[in-house]
């Protein structure tokens, strides 16, 4: 399986240059907004009345343009083989802002996407923005940044971010869920990424491929290699974060025979020190 940046790089060479999610054991809290078309549009609760998104963006990036509804900052982190392979100024847009209960308090979960500030057009297939994430908590009478990561990874296509939502990852814990995907020359890849607040940062706690289809010579022109993964939450021993259950089904190419074979397996993951680790069977 290709890494995210490697996959984007492959598309760059070819192209010239990324509602509530399904109901599950760890139920979705809600989706506030997204820059990509949602599969299921749904009404969203409003943000806390005293929460100002412009002020939040200013707190994160040090500036905010009310006319363009964007902030800017200089990206220092490099993402090889993408449009962000060297430092440069980027323009930041918010694409999700949602209030949710977390750790016994109402907090605001915010996702942003950044594009090159100097690029007049950023809308090709492989034009994937830099994703940022932050969680705001009430400190006295004001909202302040509790956890943040301004440049998590390069995800999305056509200049926009992937679909995203805030999900319930435990009895009293919220988390970001992003579902990036790409289709290129008949091959489709999609994944699920879970981001959680941890020690003042936003960390990737879990990432897995949830869809993989690729053309295969089956004799009738149909696709043979077609595999999907379903991610769900289930109560476990950790009092804060639920376990994750990954159910994989479909077909995949056998490493031994080179032929496509049916697969059906279940993996369990538990939360430990800011990330999910596979439970050995």
Q: Do 7 and 81 form a contact (C-beta atoms < 8 A)?
A: no
Looking at residue 214, its pLDDT comes to 61
Quickly count: other Cβ atoms within 10 Å of residue 224's Cβ: 19
Looking at residue 272, its pLDDT comes to 96
Looking at residue 139, its pLDDT comes to 93
Looking at residue 44, its pLDDT comes to 41
End-to-end CA separation in angstroms for the chain? 23
Count CA atoms within 13 Å of residue 135 on its CB side. Answer: 24
Looking at residue 120, its pLDDT comes to 74
Looking at residue 39, its pLDDT comes to 30
Count CA atoms within 13 Å of residue 140 on its CB side. Answer: 1
pTM score: 0.79
Residues of the chain under the 70 pLDDT cut: 1-46, 183-187, 213-225, 281
Looking at residue 28, its pLDDT comes to 40
Q: Do 99 and 108 form a contact (C-beta atoms < 8 A)?
A: yes
Q: Do 135 and 197 form a contact (C-beta atoms < 8 A)?
A: yes
Looking at residue 12, its pLDDT comes to 36
């Amino acid at each position: 399986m290709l890494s995210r940046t490697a996959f984007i790089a492959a598309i760059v060479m070819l192209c010239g240059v990324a509602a509530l999610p399904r109901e599950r054991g760890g139920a979705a809290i809600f989706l506030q907004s997204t820059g990509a078309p949602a599969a299921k549009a749904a009404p969203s609760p409003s943000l806390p009345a005293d929460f100002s998104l412009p002020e939040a963006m200013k707190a994160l990036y040090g500036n905010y343009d009310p006319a363009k509804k964007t902030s800017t900052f200089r990206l220092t982190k490099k993402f090889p083989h993408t449009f962000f392979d060297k430092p440069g100024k980027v323009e930041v847009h918010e694409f999700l802002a949602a209030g949710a209960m977390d750790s016994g308090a109402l907090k605001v979960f915010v996702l942003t996407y950044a594009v090159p500030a100097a690029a007049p057009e950023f809308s090709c297939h492989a034009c994937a923005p830099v994703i940022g994430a932050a969680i705001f908590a009430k400190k006295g009478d004001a909202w302040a940044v509790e956890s943040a990561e301004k440049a998590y990874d390069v995800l999305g296509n056509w200049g926009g971010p992937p679909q995203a939502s805030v999900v319930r990852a435990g009895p009293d814990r919220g988390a970001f869920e992003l579902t990036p995907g790409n289709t290129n020359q008949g091959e489709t890849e999609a994944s699920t990424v879970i981001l959680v607040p941890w020690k003042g940062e936003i960390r990737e706690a879990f990432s897995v491929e949830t869809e993989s289809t690729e053309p295969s010579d089956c004799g009738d022109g149909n696709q043979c290699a077609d595999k999907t993964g379903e991610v769900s939450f289930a109560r476990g021993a950790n009092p804060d974060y639920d376990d994750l259950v990954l159910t994989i089904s479909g077909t995949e190419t056998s490493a031994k025979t080179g032929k496509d074979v049916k697969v059906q397996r279940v993996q369990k993951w538990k939360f430990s020190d800011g990330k999910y680790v596979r439970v050995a069977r």
